[in-house]
Structure 1
């Protein structure tokens, strides 16, 4: 009030008023052009306090301030700054300036019963000294407490005696930063010489700079100024203030003061809108016999260890690592957590919902007591509290009406936490955006999401072409092509040396493919004589064995495993057919369904799994539902009891899971969240789930069901690759050997034989028997031995069995165009010999001796 009165006088007389001690932010609202404040505004330091609170993660702060204009002026600014860093002010402790020690003790005892342990003290040293002395006396200067003082105390800390400093050990403080300069050092020396008993504080420095700025302003206008006053015009009803004379040069002097800029002993002196500009503050720690500097706070860089460092001007720091190590109250070096459940504090009142269904999550029985509240969510909450490093006294409070029924939905329960009726809400409460506007949620203790469940039906109608389903079409095509390819390979390798693969073209084609396809049942009767063929067939039989066994297993599962199919697979199908759907009463799912496009007439409410089952039994046509929407935990619980009749289908709509709700800014939330992680990551959570969510023994685990998907080519690609490489290798080796044997034909120097003629000769030879093969040589030797032991004059006709060796329909002779010798024009001796051997062999096979049918004696 005194400052406001003096400012009003200055306005009336148009005389500049300069102050170096009035720091209250409320004075700035007067907006006087003649008021100049050569001191820091108290509101400038709230950014420093908020930065310290944020750096250490404290969520609640209680200001303790003197009950006058000085104390009250900064509190709105402090509250706003703390809210900006997510810190709440749950209580304000106002101390009268003339408070007795008993009053101070009573107020401090009241603070001890509250969980908050971070206090900001804003008052002058006279009252502050008494506060800290009493706090030490009642045990509030221990390691669990945090004390922060404003510059009202720290700027005058050098005037405090040692006994008061002893009671302030571990206190943090915000102090106006005065840079060390040569001018300041010289002034300090002069001051100590002239006034050794009076300590020099920052107010003295500001006063010196204020006088200096006034002198500069007077010098600026002094040549033309006479500093005279004139009487103001007043009427008979005027007050005494109206009788004041008005300065003729006051407005010019005020403008000159506004333009004054210089480097004073307190730092840069510059008045902007009548206010000294300050942007840097020191952060100190009371330790030992004085203060210890921890770091600085600047408007541009936040918390820094040193001014002018390499990081200055680059980033804004809000980390406590930017400060020097702190010795807290109680000589502790551990950072206080900022809150504590008081031993004599109130019991935490926890609201729990009263549910009609899904009581596995929360079940409230009456008559009510803490022991009658059970369920999965309750057990999780108790397990989480057991992981905290401290004990929390709590009491469950049901959220019912007089009959024990719920008085509202979950939004109403959350709002009761916001209004202060409950200290927390525990249950199957889903984290939702609209609820987070009123409370703080812990981390979720279970996953969630909204899913759709529908009835299932067994697709017992087996398709007539079901035998094709075990393999995909690309695997069928690949298998068929390989059977044909293997048949071709076997024919190439066998037809010149194996009579089973000779004969008319259609007979050779049929025999080759018959042999290839018969490997599916390993019923091939033709023998293969080539080692290359045997190599190919062994590889191919291995491929066929795996393919047929896989096909048999897949077909068996298709014909025997129950083919359960959902009746509805898409939400759009429900909307198109205007089917009725169900949702749990009081759930946010109702709003979600309306957003999807369901009308009110299509929505059905259920309260329990039994109600839901009845709705499904009736069906959409008979007043029931075709599908139900609910959160995953409820759906899984429902399916555990009815897994053979219903199934969960896509899509799943995102939800953030179940969590516990606390008042906004509650210091319990971070600790509870960390404890939830500890419980969910361990075996304790599994044990709780086993107790409340037992699966029926008749319900098979869906993850263990036999897969009925068709086998794809991807699964057999390696086998076909091996078979293909083996077959191609055999073909290449065979053709290389054959062409090497026919090199005389290919390299013939006969000018009459064209290239086409040579190719025809090669193909003709390729289609003939290879009489040099050991298979035919063996047969020829056996027949000659039979002729030698036969009677030369026998006239008996050949035995019918003798014709069994015939595979060709007629004798084969060389065509007349067989190349002649190069010089004589006669047939080549090799060719003639080959023809003779072939004729003799055929004759012997055609007319065997009757002796072959001798009876053993």
Structure 2
């Protein structure tokens, strides 16, 4: 019985076992069903896995997906990474992308690392309608306008040129020399640098292109070329490996000392933290620009987590340093995950092209993604606050609002300011108050900004011709020291030229070359000297060279720095030296009238006063003396007689007014004759000289001889003088005594003559 019951219980258990098993399995099936509701989306990753940027980028991409989906577990889509190694080769990158498009049918591709690889993969992405997202391809040759499915999740190289030109403008440099790698990376930025410097009136006298595989000998040879030019401001746009070698050789050649200015683009500045300390030591004083990354708590937390995880999988790398490319890789993968969810992308197959034949190549055998257009639009509209800052795609590439400006000091870099598109250079971003940079340590451990130029060691000097037959040594004087075999050039014109050249904001080496024969005599006239510039024998001429119409046909003149024109010097009127000049202010008629007026006034006052005033009475002789003394003493208001009659007082007031006017007019007239009349020339016109056939002087070998002949002077009446001393003698003798009656010359010479010899009886007059 017990066995039977036992058998029945076992049988009942076996009959109920499927139900129990179903109850136990049901919860796991429900959980599995929930997991199967997420949609996997294949995304390709094409990187150079053996390079630092490839390893760093892949680790950041993986962490971005892990962090994103852990905080967005409700998302229906899940990105599945399909990694491919491009093996640092363009063909390898293209083959990896082709495999992902054809065999895996990925919905997007992250990478590749280099711009050259991206340029070829972009064509595949455009053909398959698959977005190609690169976080490190910075070349300006890559444009989302020409490749609509290319998204540059990094800064364009051209976005930093404004920051660099602002630094150049801030220090007033007028010439810069770009040093760039001779490939697509370097050639792409050059046109943008040129345009930016043109806007601030800075010139690029020379472009230094260095091959990407340049040897040390090639680098040294190029640096020697840079030493022979005057510019000392260099813009370095090289890869970090090539840039490190460049600065090491520049240090050996003494080009990292005082007077030099070096500015690095972000290609080097972003990698300064990973460059060998010995190379950093050679870069002391170098300036650099790099994209600004806000120092947030989230960023610091991520860096710590990334270092820990990266070292676990790459134990051979000691103290790894994360740079901005890793942050862009993280943010771009985050943006892609957001865009895929928004667009509702699924792993549906590609539409195959209808015209694909059986003998087509691999480049023609993949189809077109159905999700591509909507995924592209979702990606272009994505904007969020990422680890690298504001992640906003504008016109197919990452927006670049702010750049850091750093200075290499010691073992690292120091932030000295920022550059923003709307404010330019500022000391701080928030609040923006000071529009200048902080303290800078320049090459050579100096705080003084370089002037940007220096005299080149082997540069060609400007040949400046100077006359040796100047009649006035105060303007130009050429002396030769036979013992030292050197020539000294001095004078007012030379001082002016030296002062002008000193103000030029760049070096212009020059030397003075006398226009003389082998024996030291003049090689020709001033016209001949000017013509040498036209022939190319001289680069310029400095001296007392007048601007004439004939000379202007061959050369360009500077603005006149002295009064220009031709002056005539003639003797003055000597009447001011006459002993009886005090009689000249009044005519004889006026003198007689004045005397009679004095007598008349005296008689009139006597008639009105003698009957009632005792002072006008007495003997006849006494009364006559009183009349004469009273009338003449009124001139100085010194009369002593007291006036009693009102009528006499009225007459006397009128007389005082007449006397006051008469004396003041006389004084003014006499003063004029004693001063102004000395400046009155004896000859007032050129026609008078021609009519009187007077002798006139002019400077020998001057262009004035032709002008005087054209004016109508007789050639026999022209007297040439060779020195200012000889002119002084001729002017002293006069025209009738073997001298001259007038002198014609340029105004600067005339002023010098009048000031040197104090010819008080001669006056200049412009003709």
Task: Quickly name the TM-score band, shorter chain normalised.
Answer: 0.5 to 0.7
Match of 2:336 among 188, 208, 214: 214
Q: Give the TM-score normalised by structure 2.
A: 0.61
Residues of 1 paired with 2:525 and 2:344: CA distance? Answer: 82
Find the counterpart in structure 1 of residue 120 from structure 2: 5
Among candidates 114, 120, 125, match of residue 235 of structure 2: 120
- In the TM superposition, residue 467 of structure 1 has moved relative to its aligned partner by 9.8
Query: 1 CA distance for matches of 2:322 and 2:539?
Result: 50
Contact 1:25–1:43 at 8 Å: present in 2 too?
A: yes
Whether the 8 Å contact between 2:465 and 2:529 is mirrored in structure 1 is no
Q: Distance in 1 between matches of 2:572 and 2:539?
A: 51
Q: Aligned partners of 1:513, 1:300: CA distance in 2, in Å? A: 95
Query: Whole-Å Cα distance in 1 between the matches of residues 158 and 547 of structure 2?
Result: 37
Q: Does 1:620 align with 2:711?
A: yes
Structure 2 residue aligned with 1:396? 512
Q: Is the partner of 2:219 in helix, strand or coil?
A: helix
Q: Is the 8 A contact 1:399 1:407 kept in 2?
A: no
Equivalent residue for 1:817? none
Report the equivalent of 1:233: 355
- Whether the 8 Å CA contact 1:67–1:95 is kept in 2: the answer is yes
- Secondary structure at the aligned position of 1:247 is classed as coil
Alpha-carbon distance in 2 for matches of 1:566, 1:237:
109
SS for the counterpart of 1:561 is helix
Measure the CA separation in 1 of the matches of 2:363 and 2:610: 135
Change (3 A) 1:458 1:101: closer
8 Å Cα contact 1:283-1:295 kept in structure 2: yes
1:645 paired residue number: 742
Q: Which residue of 2 aligns with 1:352?
A: 465
| 2:384 alignment counterpart | 262
**Whole-Å Cα distance in 1 between the matches of residues 502 and 729 of structure 2?**
30
Task: For residue 123 of structure 2, give the secondary structure of its aligned residue in structure 1.
Answer: helix
Residue 200 of structure 1 is aligned with which of 322, 336, 340? Answer: 322
SS at match of 2:256: coil
Distance 1:269 1:559 in 2: 85
Distance in 2 separating the partners of 1:404 and 1:555: 51
Q: Deviations over 1:277-306 (max 9, x none)?
A: 102111111111211110111121121110
Q: CA deviation at 1:619?
A: 6.8
Q: 1:98 aligns with which of 213, 238, 243?
A: 213
Q: CA contact under 8 A between 1:227 and 1:249: conserved in structure 2?
A: no
Counterparts of 1:20 and 1:192 in 2: how far apart (Å)? 20
Residues 454 and 566 in structure 1, CA contact (< 8 A), matched pair in contact too? no
Question: What is the correspondence of 1:428-447 to structure 2 with a 5 Å cutoff?
Answer: 428=544, 447=561
Q: What corresponds to 1:697 in structure 2?
A: 757
**Residue of 280, 294, 297 corresponding to 2:402:** 280
CA contact under 8 A between 2:464 and 2:540: conserved in structure 1? yes
Aligned partner of 2:250 in structure 1 is 135
Q: Is the 8 A contact 1:400 1:406 kept in 2?
A: no
Q: Secondary structure at the match of 2:418?
A: strand
Alignment of 1:62-77 (within 5 A): 62-77=177-192
Give 1:256 deviation, angstroms. Answer: 1.9
For 1:33, the equivalent position in structure 2 comes to 148
Deviation by residue 1:4-30 (Cα, 9 ceiling, x = unmatched):
211222222222111111111122386
Instruction: Give the TM-score normalised by the residue count of structure 1.
Output: 0.55
SS of the counterpart of 1:98?
A: coil
CA distance 1:233–1:701, shift in 2 (3 Å): farther
3-state DSSP class of the match of 1:332? Answer: coil
* Alignment equivalent of 2:305, drawn from 167, 183, 190: 190
1:158 is paired with a residue whose SS is helix
Q: 8 Å contact 1:609–1:638 — kept in the other structure?
A: no
Match of 2:195 in 1: 80
Deviations 1:777-825 (A, max 9, x none): xxxxxxxxxxxxxxxxxxxxxxxxxxxxxxxxxxxxxxxxxxxxxxxxx
Residue 377 of structure 1 pairs with residue 377 of structure 2 = no
Q: Give the deviation of 1:73 after TM superposition.
A: 1.3
8 Å CA contact 2:526–2:545 kept in 1: the answer is no
Post-superposition shift, 1:522?
9.0
State the 1:173 CA deviation.
0.9
Contact kept in structure 2, 1:12 and 1:244, CA below 8 Å: no
Q: 1:333 aligns with which of 426, 433, 447?
A: 447
Match status 1:301 vs 2:406: no
Q: Once the 2 structures are TM-superposed, how far is the Cα of residue 151 of structure 1 from its aligned partner?
A: 0.6
* Secondary structure, counterpart of 2:711 in structure 1: coil
> By how many angstroms is 1:161 displaced?
2.1
Partner of 2:158: 43
Q: Which residue of 2 aligns with 1:177?
A: 292
**Residue 24 of structure 1: aligned partner:** 139
Q: 1:235 to 1:264 in 2, by over 3 A?
A: same
Report matched runs for 1:654-733 at 5 Å: 695=755, 697=757, 699-700=759-760
CA distance in 1, matches of 2:605, 2:467: 79
Distance in 2 (CA, whole Å) between partners of 1:206 and 1:559 is: 87
| Deviation of 1:330 (Å) | 2.4
The answer to whether the 8 A contact 2:462-2:508 is kept is: no
Deviations 1:488-528 (A, max 9, x none): 999999789635779xxxxx9xx99995566449997x844
> 664, 667, 671: which one pairs with 1:550?
667
Shift of 1:38: 0.9
- 1:122 shift after superposition: 0.9
* CA positional deviation for 1:81: 1.9
Question: How big is the shift at 1:153?
Answer: 0.8
- Per-residue displacement from partner, 1:450-487 (whole Å, max 9, x unpaired)? 4453576978999xxx999969xxxxxxx99x999x99
* Cα contact 2:569–2:750 (8 A) shared by 1: no
In 1, distance between residues paired with 2:401 and 2:666? 83
> Would the alpha carbon gap of residues 645 and 694 (structure 1) be closer, same or farther in structure 2, given more than 3 Å must change?
closer
Q: CA RMSD in A?
A: 5.8
Structure (1 or 2) with the larger CA radius of gyration = 1
Secondary structure of 1:28's counterpart equals coil
| SS of corresponding position for 1:195 | helix
Q: 1:273 to 1:5 in 2, by over 3 A?
A: same
* CA shift for structure 1 position 163: 1.6
Distance 2:429 2:705 in 1: 74
Using a 3 Å threshold, how does the CA distance of structure 1 residues 5 and 704 change in structure 2: closer, same or farther? closer
Describe the shift of the 1:449–1:247 C-alpha distance in structure 2 as closer, same or farther (beyond 3 A): farther
Unpaired segments ≥5 residues, structure 2: 1-115, 312-318, 587-593, 618-622, 691-696, 716-723, 733-740
CA contact (8 A) 2:525 2:701 kept: no
- Cα deviations across residues 613-650 of structure 1 (Å, max 9, x unaligned)? 545755735699xxxxxxxxxx9x9999979736999x
Deviation at 1:165, TM superposition (A): 1.4
SS at match of 2:321: coil
Match of 1:154 among 236, 256, 269: 269
Shift of 1:84: 2.6
The structure-2 alpha-carbon separation of the partners of 1:39 and 1:623, relative to structure 1 and needing over 3 Å to count, comes to farther
Counterpart of 1:453 in structure 2 is 567
Structure 2 counterpart of 1:584: none
User: What is the CA–CA distance in structure 1 between the aligned matches of 2:353 and 2:293, rounded to whole Å?
Assistant: 43
The number of equivalent residue pairs is 583
Flag the structure with more relative contact order, 1 or 2, with Cα contacts below 8 A and sequence separation at least 6.
1
What secondary structure does 1:229 align onto? coil
For the residue of structure 1 that corresponds to 2:273, the secondary structure is helix
CA distance in 1, matches of 2:604, 2:131: 115
Q: 1:487 to 1:222 in 2, by over 3 A?
A: farther
